[in-house]
């Protein structure tokens, strides 16, 4: 088969597709341009798929009779319509599953869905790499050598061997890692970190083994080494994500996002395909930047997140010295009164709001307050929720206008001039210990300064539970704090009722 890049128009089409993907991400710089960006993404994908379909029409070899006299049996090549049908059916099946899932999924389940989608990209990369290994000539990455004795065989180019094994390894790690992330986010598996003894040694050993077998495969093109790398990579992805839990999930999800990009890029190198390389680079850097933003928002190094086990090791000490301190309990009526008298209320949502599905009733509460002439704003900490931007999507779902929703650095100075900070389902991201207590596991993490507001209303299920970091929150015991102990959704419903 002719090489893909042989026709300049084909290469050009893939380049246009890559540019469309860049424009798709560019559109996300503001909500107004974002939908146009998404359409660019779809156009780019359509160009890539159609280009591949028309340049790789399935063909089959058939026996024919040449119409000479006498007829001569010979072989001819004709379009394989069955194969075309199979491919279109595969696309149709995938499209149906994808669209139905996208329509039905609840917005609160978005982190799981994204993790599941990552696993599909990883698996697709593995399948493509294995297919390329089995049939390298079709991908134009091998020369057929016909020895004097025996069958002709394909020799895969040296560079391609490394590229395809990189693709298969990253794809496999992405797949098994994402499956674990999905199970944790979906609640099929406990969120708590699972710590194996000597896990760092095991992971490092696994990585070195992958490098070693890659080298062996590079030298020998031996199938056994190829499949060993596949198996080791599946295991490594599993082991990497197992010890990471709970509030570190935003980093994990972003990291897997990045991996799925690098897997696509590696396969792009194998296939010499510009669209795949550009996309891989975009997605890879996107995930890496998101991981960096999440780590910075927790003041933790990427390495320490990957090493895992946060909250499982340091939590003991803080819990032991916990003493009974006086705190104030408030009712829904108190909260309603305080907020209706306020000039400005800042709402601080966290993962607890997502769990309780309280975003809709929260917006109702904000509407009532606005009717009373209260200014309402929302303050979002970068790591609130289980994935980057999780809270923003939920608030958007509840019809909260995005110009009322602010990022940490844009709103933090406003707490001091606000009458009420209404914390719902957030905890660690409001803990002043991050600023003062050097021994605290969250020391140095940028926090929302809710304690500077005249009154802090803190919605929490009970006084017993501590946040993910396992540290007590100073804010609970302050004179200007009123604890509203109930399920987040119920409490807000009662406040709405009390507001009349």
64, 120, 207, 209: residue in contact with other proteins (rule CB under 8 A): 120
Q: Who's near 105: CB < 8 A, 6+ residues apart? A: 113
Applying CB under 8 A, among 108, 112, 139, 310 the residue interacting with other proteins is 139
Residue 437, classified by CB atoms within 10 Å of its CB into exposed (0-12), middle (13-18) or buried (19+), is: middle
The nearer residue to other proteins, 50 or 66, going by C-beta atoms, is 50
Residues whose CB is less than 8 angstroms from the CB of residue 309 and which lie 6 or more positions away in sequence, other chains included: 193, 195, 243, 244
Site for other proteins in 140-159 (CB under 8 A): 159
Interface with other proteins includes 83 (CB under 8 A)?
yes
CB distance 171 to 224 below 8 Å: no
Contact 243, 175 (CB under 8 A): no
Read off the DSSP letter of residue 291: H
Lookup result for tokens 């499209």: 95
Examine residue 299 and tell whether it contacts other proteins (CB under 8 A).
no
Residue 363 vs 460, nearer CB to other proteins = 363
Give me the least distance between CB of 285 and other proteins, in Å please. Answer: 4
Site for other proteins, residues 395 to 424, rule: CB under 8 A: 396-397, 399, 401-405, 407
Give the count of alpha carbons within 13 A of 315, CB side only: 14
| Residue closer to other proteins (CB basis): 251 or 483 | 251
Query: What part of residues 177-206 is at the interface with other proteins (CB under 8 A)?
Result: none
> Which residue in the set 7, 35, 301, 417 belongs to the binding site for other proteins (CB under 8 A)?
35
* Residue with smaller CB distance to other proteins, 65 or 159: 159
Instruction: Answer yes or no whether residue 49 interacts with other proteins by CB under 8 A.
Output: yes
Q: Which of 393, 414, 437, 443 binds other proteins (CB under 8 A)?
A: 393
11 touches other proteins (CB under 8 A): yes
Kindly report the backbone phi and psi dihedral angles of residue 455, in degrees, each rounded to the nearest multiple of 5, phi listed first: -130, 140
Largest CA-CA distance found in the chain, in angstroms, rounded: 107
What gap in Å lies between CA 33 and CA 45, rounded to an integer?
A: 19
User: Applying CB under 8 A, which part among 124-132, 203-211, 418-426, 479-487 lies near other proteins?
Assistant: 124-132
Pairing of strands 375-380, 344-349: parallel
Q: Are 309 and 195 in contact (CB under 8 A)?
A: yes
31 makes contact with other proteins (CB under 8 A): yes
Question: Is 225 among the residues that bind other proteins (CB under 8 A)?
Answer: no
Q: Which two tokens stand for residue 298?
A: 């927790």
Please say which residue, 292 or 443, places its beta carbon nearer to other proteins.
292
**Does 176 contact other proteins by CB under 8 A?**
no
DSSP codes joined into one string, 225-278: HHHHHHHHHHHHHHHHHTT--GGGHHHHHHHHHHHHHHHHHHHHHHHT-HHHHH
Residue count at the site for other proteins (CB under 8 A)?
127
Listed residue (360, 376, 356, 350) closest to 467, CA to CA: 350
Binding residues among 88-117 for other proteins as defined by CB under 8 A? 90-95, 97-99, 101-103, 105, 107, 110, 113-114, 117
Q: Is residue 237 at the binding interface for other proteins, with CB under 8 A as the rule?
A: no
**Active site members:** 428
Report the site for other proteins in 249-288 (rule: CB under 8 A). 253-254, 257, 260-261, 263-265, 267-287
Looking at 82, 86, 219, 322, which residue binds other proteins (CB under 8 A)? 86
Position 431 contacts other proteins (CB under 8 A)? no
């Amino acid at each position: 088969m002719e090489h893909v890049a042989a026709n300049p128009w084909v290469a050009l089409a893939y380049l246009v597709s890559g540019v469309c993907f860049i424009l798709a991400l560019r559109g996300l710089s503001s909500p107004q341009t974002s939908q146009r960006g998404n359409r660019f993404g779809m156009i780019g994908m359509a160009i890539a798929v159609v280009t591949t379909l028309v340049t790789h029409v399935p063909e089959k070899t058939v026996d024919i009779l040449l119409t000479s006299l006498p007829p001569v049996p010979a072989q001819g090549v004709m379009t394989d319509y069955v194969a075309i049908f199979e491919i279109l059916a595969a696309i149709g099946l995938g499209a149906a599953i994808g669209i139905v899932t996208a329509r039905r999924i609840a917005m609160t389940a978005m982190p799981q869905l994204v993790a599941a989608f990552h696993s599909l990209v990883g698996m697709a990369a593995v399948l493509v790499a294995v297919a390329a290994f089995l049939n390298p000539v079709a991908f134009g990455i091998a020369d057929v050598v016909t020895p004097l004795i025996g069958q002709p065989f394909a020799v895969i180019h040296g560079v391609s061997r490394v590229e395809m094994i990189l693709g298969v390894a990253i794809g496999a790690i992405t797949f098994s890692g994402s499956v674990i992330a999905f199970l944790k986010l979906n609640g099929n598996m406990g969120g708590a970190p699972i710590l194996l003894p000597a896990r760092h040694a095991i992971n490092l050993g696994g990585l070195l083994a992958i490098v070693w077998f890659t080298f062996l495969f590079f030298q020998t093109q031996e199938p056994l080494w190829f499949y060993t790398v596949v198996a080791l990579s599946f295991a490594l992805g599993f082991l990497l994500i197992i010890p990471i839990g709970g509030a570190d999930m935003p980093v994990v999800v972003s990291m897997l996002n990045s991996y799925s990009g690098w897997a696509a890029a590696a396969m792009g190198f194998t296939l010499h395909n510009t669209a795949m390389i550009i996309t891989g680079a975009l997605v890879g850097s996107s995930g890496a930047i998101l991981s960096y933003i999440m780590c910075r928002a927790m003041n933790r190094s990427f390495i320490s997140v990957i090493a895992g086990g946060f909250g499982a090791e340091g939590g003991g000490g803080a819990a032991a010295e916990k003493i009974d301190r006086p705190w104030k309990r408030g009712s829904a009526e108190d909260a309603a009164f305080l907020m209706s008298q306020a000039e400005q209320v800042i709402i601080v949502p966290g993962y607890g709001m997502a769990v309780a599905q309280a975003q809709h009733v929260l917006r109702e509460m904000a509407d009532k307050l606005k009717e009373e002439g209260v200014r309402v704003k929302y303050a979002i900490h970068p790591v609130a929720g289980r994935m980057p931007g999780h809270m923003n999507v939920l608030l958007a779902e509840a019809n909260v206008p995005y110009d009322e929703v602010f990022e940490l650095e844009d709103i933090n100075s406003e707490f001091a001039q606000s009458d009420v900070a209404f914390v719902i389902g957030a905890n660690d991201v409001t803990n002043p210990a991050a600023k003062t207590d050097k021994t605290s596991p969250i020391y140095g993490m940028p926090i929302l300064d809710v304690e500077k507001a005249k009154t802090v209303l803190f919605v929490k299920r009970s006084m017993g539970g501590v946040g993910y970091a396992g540290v007590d929150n100073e804010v609970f015991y302050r004179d200007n704090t009123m604890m509203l102990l109930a399920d987040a959704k119920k409490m807000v419903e009662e406040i709405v009722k009390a507001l009349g």
